[in-house]
Amino acid sequence: MIMFSRSPVFLCLLAAAILLWPAGRTAVAQNQAKPPVIAMIDFAKAVHESKAGQSLRQQLDKQRAIYEKEIKSGESKLEEAQQELQQQQAVLSPEAFARKRQEFQQQVGELQRKAQDRRRMLDQMQGDGLRQIETELREILGQLVKERGYDIVMNAGAGGGPIIMAAGELFITDEVIQQLNKKLPAVTVKPPAN
Protein backbone atom coordinates (compact mmCIF):
# COMPACT_ATOMS: atom_id res chain seq x y z
CA MET A 1 0.00 0.00 0.00
CA ILE A 2 1.32 3.43 -0.98
CA MET A 3 1.13 6.19 1.62
CA PHE A 4 0.56 9.52 -0.07
CA SER A 5 0.72 11.47 3.11
CA ARG A 6 4.45 10.78 3.42
CA SER A 7 5.34 10.84 -0.23
CA PRO A 8 7.58 13.74 -1.28
CA VAL A 9 5.32 14.44 -4.31
CA PHE A 10 2.28 14.73 -2.07
CA LEU A 11 4.08 17.03 0.35
CA CYS A 12 5.22 19.26 -2.52
CA LEU A 13 1.68 19.49 -3.90
CA LEU A 14 0.30 20.24 -0.45
CA ALA A 15 2.90 22.97 0.11
CA ALA A 16 2.17 24.51 -3.28
CA ALA A 17 -1.56 24.49 -2.57
CA ILE A 18 -1.02 26.19 0.77
CA LEU A 19 1.26 28.82 -0.76
CA LEU A 20 -1.05 29.56 -3.69
CA TRP A 21 -4.26 29.60 -1.67
CA PRO A 22 -4.03 33.29 -0.50
CA ALA A 23 -3.00 34.39 -4.01
CA GLY A 24 -6.08 32.75 -5.44
CA ARG A 25 -8.30 34.51 -2.92
CA THR A 26 -6.65 37.85 -3.75
CA ALA A 27 -7.27 37.34 -7.46
CA VAL A 28 -10.93 36.63 -6.75
CA ALA A 29 -11.16 39.72 -4.53
CA GLN A 30 -9.55 41.88 -7.22
CA ASN A 31 -12.16 40.80 -9.74
CA GLN A 32 -14.94 42.16 -7.53
CA ALA A 33 -16.13 45.69 -8.37
CA LYS A 34 -14.92 48.51 -6.18
CA PRO A 35 -17.62 50.44 -4.34
CA PRO A 36 -18.70 53.58 -6.21
CA VAL A 37 -17.40 56.99 -5.16
CA ILE A 38 -20.46 59.17 -4.60
CA ALA A 39 -20.86 62.94 -4.25
CA MET A 40 -24.05 64.80 -3.40
CA ILE A 41 -25.18 68.23 -4.55
CA ASP A 42 -28.27 70.26 -3.83
CA PHE A 43 -28.62 71.57 -7.39
CA ALA A 44 -31.43 74.03 -6.59
CA LYS A 45 -29.46 75.47 -3.66
CA ALA A 46 -26.39 75.90 -5.85
CA VAL A 47 -28.44 77.82 -8.43
CA HIS A 48 -30.33 79.87 -5.83
CA GLU A 49 -27.38 80.85 -3.64
CA SER A 50 -24.87 81.55 -6.39
CA LYS A 51 -24.04 85.09 -7.46
CA ALA A 52 -25.32 84.25 -10.94
CA GLY A 53 -28.65 83.08 -9.48
CA GLN A 54 -28.92 86.27 -7.44
CA SER A 55 -28.15 88.42 -10.48
CA LEU A 56 -30.81 86.57 -12.46
CA ARG A 57 -33.43 87.22 -9.77
CA GLN A 58 -32.51 90.92 -9.66
CA GLN A 59 -32.88 91.28 -13.42
CA LEU A 60 -36.21 89.42 -13.39
CA ASP A 61 -37.51 91.56 -10.52
CA LYS A 62 -36.52 94.74 -12.36
CA GLN A 63 -38.18 93.62 -15.60
CA ARG A 64 -41.27 92.37 -13.72
CA ALA A 65 -41.65 95.83 -12.12
CA ILE A 66 -41.50 97.47 -15.58
CA TYR A 67 -44.17 95.10 -16.91
CA GLU A 68 -46.40 95.53 -13.86
CA LYS A 69 -46.24 99.32 -14.23
CA GLU A 70 -47.15 98.96 -17.91
CA ILE A 71 -50.13 96.69 -17.13
CA LYS A 72 -51.35 98.90 -14.26
CA SER A 73 -51.26 101.90 -16.58
CA GLY A 74 -53.39 99.97 -19.08
CA GLU A 75 -55.81 98.95 -16.32
CA SER A 76 -56.18 102.59 -15.24
CA LYS A 77 -56.99 103.62 -18.80
CA LEU A 78 -59.56 100.83 -19.03
CA GLU A 79 -61.22 101.92 -15.78
CA GLU A 80 -61.50 105.47 -17.14
CA ALA A 81 -62.91 104.16 -20.43
CA GLN A 82 -65.43 102.01 -18.54
CA GLN A 83 -66.64 104.99 -16.48
CA GLU A 84 -66.90 107.11 -19.61
CA LEU A 85 -68.85 104.35 -21.36
CA GLN A 86 -71.29 104.10 -18.45
CA GLN A 87 -71.84 107.86 -18.56
CA GLN A 88 -72.45 107.80 -22.32
CA GLN A 89 -74.94 104.95 -22.14
CA ALA A 90 -77.82 107.32 -21.41
CA VAL A 91 -77.02 109.67 -24.31
CA LEU A 92 -75.91 107.22 -27.02
CA SER A 93 -78.20 105.30 -29.30
CA PRO A 94 -78.28 101.53 -28.59
CA GLU A 95 -76.27 100.85 -31.76
CA ALA A 96 -73.60 103.44 -30.90
CA PHE A 97 -73.41 102.15 -27.32
CA ALA A 98 -73.06 98.56 -28.53
CA ARG A 99 -70.23 99.62 -30.84
CA LYS A 100 -68.44 101.50 -28.02
CA ARG A 101 -68.96 98.55 -25.68
CA GLN A 102 -67.46 96.18 -28.27
CA GLU A 103 -64.43 98.50 -28.65
CA PHE A 104 -64.03 98.49 -24.87
CA GLN A 105 -64.15 94.66 -24.80
CA GLN A 106 -61.47 94.56 -27.48
CA GLN A 107 -59.27 96.84 -25.36
CA VAL A 108 -59.79 94.54 -22.35
CA GLY A 109 -58.81 91.53 -24.47
CA GLU A 110 -55.71 93.32 -25.77
CA LEU A 111 -54.59 94.14 -22.24
CA GLN A 112 -55.14 90.54 -21.14
CA ARG A 113 -53.07 89.28 -24.09
CA LYS A 114 -50.37 91.82 -23.28
CA ALA A 115 -50.24 90.64 -19.63
CA GLN A 116 -49.97 87.01 -20.77
CA ASP A 117 -47.26 87.96 -23.23
CA ARG A 118 -45.29 89.75 -20.50
CA ARG A 119 -45.53 86.66 -18.23
CA ARG A 120 -44.30 84.51 -21.11
CA MET A 121 -41.41 86.91 -21.71
CA LEU A 122 -40.42 86.76 -18.02
CA ASP A 123 -40.58 82.96 -18.13
CA GLN A 124 -38.37 82.97 -21.21
CA MET A 125 -35.86 85.30 -19.54
CA GLN A 126 -35.78 83.06 -16.48
CA GLY A 127 -35.30 79.97 -18.62
CA ASP A 128 -32.45 81.60 -20.55
CA GLY A 129 -30.68 82.60 -17.33
CA LEU A 130 -31.17 79.20 -15.70
CA ARG A 131 -29.76 77.45 -18.76
CA GLN A 132 -26.61 79.59 -18.53
CA ILE A 133 -26.18 78.73 -14.84
CA GLU A 134 -26.96 75.04 -15.27
CA THR A 135 -24.54 74.76 -18.19
CA GLU A 136 -21.74 76.17 -16.06
CA LEU A 137 -22.72 73.97 -13.10
CA ARG A 138 -22.56 70.86 -15.26
CA GLU A 139 -19.09 71.84 -16.49
CA ILE A 140 -17.91 72.34 -12.90
CA LEU A 141 -19.39 68.99 -11.86
CA GLY A 142 -17.80 67.28 -14.86
CA GLN A 143 -14.41 68.68 -13.86
CA LEU A 144 -14.87 67.51 -10.25
CA VAL A 145 -15.83 64.04 -11.49
CA LYS A 146 -12.57 63.85 -13.46
CA GLU A 147 -10.39 65.31 -10.71
CA ARG A 148 -11.79 63.30 -7.81
CA GLY A 149 -12.89 60.15 -9.52
CA TYR A 150 -16.56 60.39 -8.60
CA ASP A 151 -18.57 57.60 -10.11
CA ILE A 152 -21.94 59.13 -9.21
CA VAL A 153 -23.07 62.69 -8.47
CA MET A 154 -26.56 62.70 -7.00
CA ASN A 155 -28.98 65.60 -6.61
CA ALA A 156 -29.95 65.68 -2.95
CA GLY A 157 -32.16 68.74 -3.17
CA ALA A 158 -35.92 68.83 -2.92
CA GLY A 159 -37.35 66.77 -5.74
CA GLY A 160 -33.90 65.37 -6.53
CA GLY A 161 -34.78 61.77 -5.79
CA PRO A 162 -35.32 59.27 -3.03
CA ILE A 163 -32.31 60.24 -0.90
CA ILE A 164 -33.32 60.24 2.73
CA MET A 165 -29.98 60.78 4.43
CA ALA A 166 -26.33 61.08 3.46
CA ALA A 167 -23.08 61.79 5.26
CA GLY A 168 -22.13 65.46 5.24
CA GLU A 169 -18.73 64.84 3.67
CA LEU A 170 -20.45 63.58 0.53
CA PHE A 171 -21.96 67.02 -0.16
CA ILE A 172 -20.06 69.26 -2.56
CA THR A 173 -22.74 71.96 -2.92
CA ASP A 174 -20.88 74.77 -1.13
CA GLU A 175 -17.68 74.08 -3.06
CA VAL A 176 -19.59 74.06 -6.33
CA ILE A 177 -21.25 77.39 -5.44
CA GLN A 178 -17.79 78.92 -4.78
CA GLN A 179 -16.50 77.70 -8.14
CA LEU A 180 -19.65 78.88 -9.90
CA ASN A 181 -19.27 82.32 -8.31
CA LYS A 182 -15.74 82.53 -9.71
CA LYS A 183 -16.58 81.25 -13.19
CA LEU A 184 -20.01 82.86 -13.64
CA PRO A 185 -20.55 85.77 -11.23
CA ALA A 186 -23.54 87.05 -13.19
CA VAL A 187 -25.81 86.21 -16.06
CA THR A 188 -27.31 88.67 -18.47
CA VAL A 189 -30.81 88.19 -19.75
CA LYS A 190 -32.77 90.52 -21.97
CA PRO A 191 -36.48 90.65 -22.61
CA PRO A 192 -37.33 88.84 -25.82
CA ALA A 193 -38.55 90.91 -28.73
CA ASN A 194 -42.31 91.35 -28.86
Q: Is residue 15 part of a domain?
A: no
pLDDT value, residue 109: 96
Q: Is residue 176 part of a domain?
A: yes
Taking the chain (194 residues) in consecutive chunks of 10 residues, what is each chunk's mean pLDDT?
46 49 51 81 92 97 97 96 91 91 96 96 96 94 90 81 68 91 92 80
Q: Is residue 18 part of a domain?
A: no
Q: Is residue 86 part of a domain?
A: yes
Q: Is residue 64 part of a domain?
A: yes
CA atoms within 13 A on the CB side of 16: 6
Q: In whole angstroms, what separates CA 71 from the centre of its chain?
A: 30
Distance between CA atoms of residues 137 and 126, nearest Å: 16
The domain in which residue 58 lies consists of 34-183
Structural domain count, the chain: 1
pLDDT value, residue 116: 97
